[in-house]
Amino acid sequence: MRIRDLILPEDHVFFELFRQMAEKIAEAASTLNEITHELPEGTEKAHKVRQIEHLGDEITRHIYEQLNESLITPLEPDEIARLAPAFDDVLDKIDWVTHQLCNYGIPETNDVLKEYSYLIQLTSTEISSALDALSSLNRPEEVKTHVIEISRLYNLSTELLSRAVLELFKTQDLLMIIKLKDIYEGMAKVMEKCNDVGHAFHDITMSHT
């Protein structure tokens, strides 16, 4: 136990703010999944994702404001400063790939788009669960279980990207190859940023056990 923990109660506002961010990530991921299943309809939902991303920016700003003002924090300041942009990056990438998907005018959905968005949605759930376990600071094994699952889903997404690109180059529509490859790589970037959150959870958990 740290000496300061014996003097001042921990400020739990940070975990509440991170929970809000996790909820925004889950909401954005769910909306992206809806869009991939509804193409070519549903593209107007991209505006909803953009609004969620803006709200996420506000929450991130609030986290940094609290960090500057708080005398004591439940995690180390550098740990909070690592988690905040990691969460924000996930939202940013979901917003980016959502607008790629809609602005490119994809005429119909396909199994790769659906599978990728489903992996993103599953990973967002694991992020929320890992955060819940981390917030108690006494459930390290539960955090690790969710981190392992985030990593597993990320590995599945990299395998999916390889298969999807190979299949793309078997088609004859060059413009659609370019568009879909860009979108697939955008979804891969979302999963990469989710995996970064998992790494942050792991490192923080290790430092508190």
Domain count, the chain: 1
With respect to residue 154, please indicate whether it lies within any of the assigned structural domains: yes
pTM of the model: 0.92
Question: Is the confidence at residue 10, as pLDDT, over 80?
Answer: no
With respect to residue 31, please indicate whether it lies within any of the assigned structural domains: yes
With respect to residue 193, please indicate whether it lies within any of the assigned structural domains: yes
The boundaries of the domain holding residue 10 are 6-207
Render pLDDT for 87-146 as a digit per residue (tens, 0 to 9): 999 999 999 999 999 899 899 999 999 999 999 999 999 999 999 999 987 899 999 999
| Amino acid making up residue 191 | M
The 10 Å Cβ neighbour count of residue 151 is: 17
The domain that holds 40 is classified in CATH as: 1.20.58.220
With respect to residue 93, please indicate whether it lies within any of the assigned structural domains: yes
With respect to residue 86, please indicate whether it lies within any of the assigned structural domains: yes
Angle at 200 (CA atoms; ends 199, 206), nearest 5 degrees: 90
Q: How would residue 11 be classed by pLDDT, with cut points 50, 70 and 90? A: low
**Alpha carbon distance 42, 122 (integer Å):** 21
Q: How would residue 209 be classed by pLDDT, with cut points 50, 70 and 90? A: confident
pLDDT at 137: 78
DSSP 31-62: HHHHHHHHTTTTGGGHHHHHHHHHHHHHHHHH
Nearest to 133 by CA among 125, 123, 141: 141
Distance set, CA 194 to CA 27, 90, 145 (Å): 15, 6, 15
What six digits make up the tokens of 182? 């860009």
With respect to residue 1, please indicate whether it lies within any of the assigned structural domains: no
**Alpha carbon distance 209, 207 (integer Å):** 6
What six digits make up the tokens of 101? 């998907």
With respect to residue 85, please indicate whether it lies within any of the assigned structural domains: yes
Question: Is the confidence at residue 4, as pLDDT, over 60?
Answer: no
Average pLDDT over residues 19-40: 96
Residue in the structure block whose two tokens are 């909070």: 80
What six digits make up the tokens of 33? 């999944």
Q: What is the mean pLDDT of the chain?
A: 91
